[in-house]
Amino acid sequence: MPVRSSCQPGSPASSGFVLVATLVAIAIISLGAAYFATQVDTLRNSARQLQSWSEAERDAFSVREALQYAAATGFRDEGGLTFGGTTLATDGRRYRLTDTLSVSVQDERGLLAINTLDEKTLARLLSNIGVPAESQSRLIDTLLDYMDPDDLRRLNGAEAREYAAANKPPPTNDFLRTRDQIADVLGWDTILDRLDNVGPSTTPGLRARFIDLFSTARHFGLNVNSAPLHVLRTVPGIDPTKISALIDQRRATAFTSLGQLAPFTSGPIDSDYVGLVGANEWRVVVAKAELPFLLECQLTITAAEPDRPTRLRECVRRPVMAAAIGSPDEFQLALAVDRQTGSRQSLASNTPSSSPLALSNDLRDPTKTVDAPAPDWLAEVVGAAGATRRQAIRSQ
């Protein structure tokens, strides 16, 4: 007599198997649907973020183009750029255009021209930031060796052989094209690494703010009306205890003659080096709250070319923390940290007694200022761009 299988169709075991298989299939489909729903939400959020970034970049580009036009048609003097009846200072101060949008313009002649910097000025900078005197000659020689066209090694310098031993690319034997190339120079990379290691936990953007003191523009001289605090400290004759007052004075009214600097000096000033008018190169930085980066553009004014009176050399994205506000002694404090023990060394051991650091500790920080009101012609550009965008959205 044949035995009936328990798995034959219609049997309880068969029905249970089908039920389990169905439940498993439903679970798989549900998991798949949930996964794809999550992916769709992720893509939707990414699209919204990209749209927000796109709109924020559009505002940044509007500001950049307005400045480019104003630089081509406006008037430049000691105060900066005059256009539409108002003046926009080019000393790096931050102008607030809206609650989320700001711009700053830095005249490159107010910075240290690293490609044409003389050894004495470079030594003063290194001394002011706390580099020991015995280390300064190496930093100066390695920088000069990196840029000069020959392969002859200075006494404390470095050429291709030393870079190979350090597992680094050889010197370019040419001018620096970007200020970030400082990190490729032997010795300088150590300083930047130290600033970078200290900065994130205490003062974000420390490394970036140090590099921002330099310019690769090949100009001569220094514009006192646009130089930041650390650059002013390198100028012989300027009293380091009066730099805060000097910056306050020029923010109120730009200097129009070197004689007006007399109350802020402690000796003669080299009139061939110190000037009061900016160069033809500007560093424009636009920040937007919706953007996780800064938009930095190098603007060159080419007045001799009527068909192209201004030129954008390059535009790059930089970390937001590069715009953080630091203290007057932030570099000295960072370089005074002993890497092995983690303790702070005495600044007096690294800084000469005549250093402005010892004389300015009791001074307020002139960099912590309220954002300046934006000129009407620049604020109107942003407002018009926003109104046009809103109108376009409503018409869709």
Q: Are 88 and 95 in contact (CB under 8 A)?
A: yes
Do the domain assignments include residue 353?
A: yes
Q: Which of 125, 382, 311, 108 is nearest to 221 (CA)?
A: 108
Asked whether residue 99 is assigned to any structural domain, the reply reads: yes
pTM for the model stands at: 0.79
Work out the number of other CB atoms within 10 angstroms of the CB of residue 202: 11
45 within some domain: no
- Whether residue 50 is contained in a domain is answered as no
The identity of residue 73, as a single letter, is T
Domain coverage including residue 289: 66-390
Give the Cα separation of 92 and 227 in Å (integer). 9
Domain membership flag for residue 216: yes
The answer to whether position 113 is within a domain reads yes
Please, what is the angle between helix 188-202 and helix 133-147, to 10°?
110
β-pairing, 214-215 vs 310-319, is: unpaired
Residue appearing with tokens 């039920």: 19
Task: Yes or no: say if 151 and 164 are a contact pair by the CB < 8 Å rule.
Answer: no
Residue 245 backbone class (left: φ over 0; alpha: ψ -120 to 50; beta: rest): alpha
pLDDT digits (tens, 9 = 90+) for 217-233: 888 899 999 999 999 99
- Total domains present in the chain: 1
Residue 3 in domain: no
Alpha-carbon distances, residue 162 vs 40, 131, 190, 191, 194 (angstroms): 54, 22, 15, 18, 21
What residues contact residue 273 under an 8 Å CB cut-off, 6+ apart?
220, 221, 222, 235
pLDDT in tens, the chain (396 residues): 555 555 555 566 666 677 777 777 788 887 877 777 777 767 776 777 667 777 888 888 889 999 999 999 999 999 999 998 889 999 999 999 988 999 999 999 999 999 999 999 999 999 999 898 889 999 999 999 999 999 999 999 999 999 999 999 999 999 999 999 999 999 999 999 988 887 666 677 889 999 999 999 888 899 999 999 999 999 999 999 999 999 999 999 999 999 999 999 999 999 999 999 999 999 999 999 888 889 999 999 987 777 788 888 888 988 888 777 778 888 888 888 544 444 444 333 333 333 444 344 434 444 455 678 888 888 887 765 554 544 444 454
User: In this predicted structure, what is the pLDDT of residue 35?
Assistant: 77
